Structure 1
Amino acid sequence: MRLLVVWIINAVALFVLPYIIPSIHIKSFGSAMLAALVLGLVNTLIRPILVILTLPVTLLTLGLFIFVINALLFLFVGNLLSGFTVGGFWAALLGSILYSVISWLLASLLLGNRDD
């Protein structure tokens, strides 16, 4: 049940982004649900491989290259799905950061503490 709630929270966070960043477009809430699902899968399956492969660059940049990896994966999902479009790298960078912050805020407000 918790996984479904987190999925909906992520979709809501993604659905809010076009109101903040004009170069990100989402056609419907269903598209946001699908994009949240694909983003979750990409972050689970592909991101760890990219983080390991780019570890020297990440260490040289003191971890800031992780933001570039997140932006590229966000842009990749935007190019992969037809109902979710991202206008470029800088929109993807800002979008991935705001998506993470909004998801975290909503999850902490709605789900509260996991120690229960």
Structure 2
Amino acid sequence: MWFVEFLLSWLVLAFAVWATAAILPKVHIKSFGSAIWVAALFGILNFFLGWLLFAVFTIGTLGLAWLLAFITRWIINAILLKLTDAMTDSLKIEGFSWALIAAALMSLIGTVGEWVVSSLIF
């Protein structure tokens, strides 16, 4: 069952990447297939680097980043989006401010998508 949940989460993230690129003028994705690849790469980076960046931010700000975890997570996701952009030709984000906007929009679309999928299937 966990595998189905994993695949559905991955598809929701891919849809969030694709929809974000469709909505924002400075975020570009080649195709939905590219969005699946970008979602996989972003997820892997988030798994391996997200917690490390969060720890560095928390230590660097003497705990303030932990208290403002929502904002810290948002900034880390924007950093990881720009890193994903640098690692693949499938995604292009024109500037860090657009990465911040894309991270917020992806989080919104992903949260709604996960809620919809979980309420329909589980």
Give the TM-score normalised by structure 1. Answer: 0.88
Correspondence 1:70-81 to 2 at 5 A: 70-81=77-88
Larger helix fraction of residues: 2
- Counterpart residue number, 1:93: 100
How far has the Cα of 1:66 moved from its partner? 3.2
- Counterpart residue number, 1:19: 22
Q: Are residue 65 (structure 1) and residue 68 (structure 2) matched?
A: no
The answer for unaligned runs of 5 or more in structure 1 is none
Q: Are residue 42 (structure 1) and residue 14 (structure 2) matched?
A: no
Regions of 4+ moved over 4 Å:
none
How far has the Cα of 1:110 moved from its partner? 1.6
The answer for unaligned runs of 5 or more in structure 2 is none
Query: Could you report, residue by residue, the CA deviation over 1:2-60 in whole angstroms, capped at 9, with x for unpaired residues?
Result: 21111111111110012221100000111100000011111111010111111142733
SS in 2 for 1:85: strand
**Aligned equivalent of 1:103, options 89, 98, 110:** 110
Could you tell me whether the CA contact under 8 Å between 1:58 and 1:66 is conserved in 2? no
C-alpha distance in 2, partners of 1:72/1:58? 20
Could you tell me whether the CA contact under 8 Å between 1:79 and 1:86 is conserved in 2? no
For the aligned residues, what is the CA RMSD?
1.9
**Aligned equivalent of 1:82, options 71, 82, 89:** 89
State percent identity of aligned pairs.
Answer: 27
SS in 1 for 2:25: coil
- Give the count of matched residue pairs: 115
